[in-house]
Amino acid sequence: MPKSILSVPSAPAPLGPYSPAVEAQGLVYLSGQVALDPDTGSSVGEDVADQTHQVMGNIGAMLGDVGLGYDDIVKTTIFLIDIADFAKVNDAYAAYVGASRPARSTVGVAALPGGFRVEIEVIAAR
């Protein structure tokens, strides 16, 4: 089954040569999201918790664009520039995934584009 590039009008404009959402074999892959306001393209929040709320809100809107929701997420990967932010990100993230608790990896990285503190990518299933 070939991949399909999905239309996600709620997504912030990509920061590079990639598609915000791609579907293949019933799985929807959302590219890593940082704390951008989709309407203005401006960064939102300096605190990692505020950034996580913006990222998760953007992910929810993008999933909604393709007829899915947070309960459809099967895997996330979280990238943090400071692993000491783990607990703050967990608290913010938990408000969105609730009891559905997808599989997850969290990775400490040296830096993220635009000076962001957190980036989250998602795989969801139809």
- Per-residue pLDDT of 71-121, as tens digits, reads 999 999 999 999 999 999 999 999 999 999 999 999 999 999 999 999 999
Got the DSSP string for 94-125? HHHHGGG--EEEEEE-S--GGG-SEEEEEEEE
Q: DSSP alpha helices (H): ranges in 23-78?
A: 48-65
- Per-residue pLDDT of 18-72, as tens digits, reads 999 999 999 999 999 999 999 999 999 989 999 999 999 999 999 999 999 999 9
pTM of the prediction? 0.96
- So what CATH class is 4-125? alpha beta
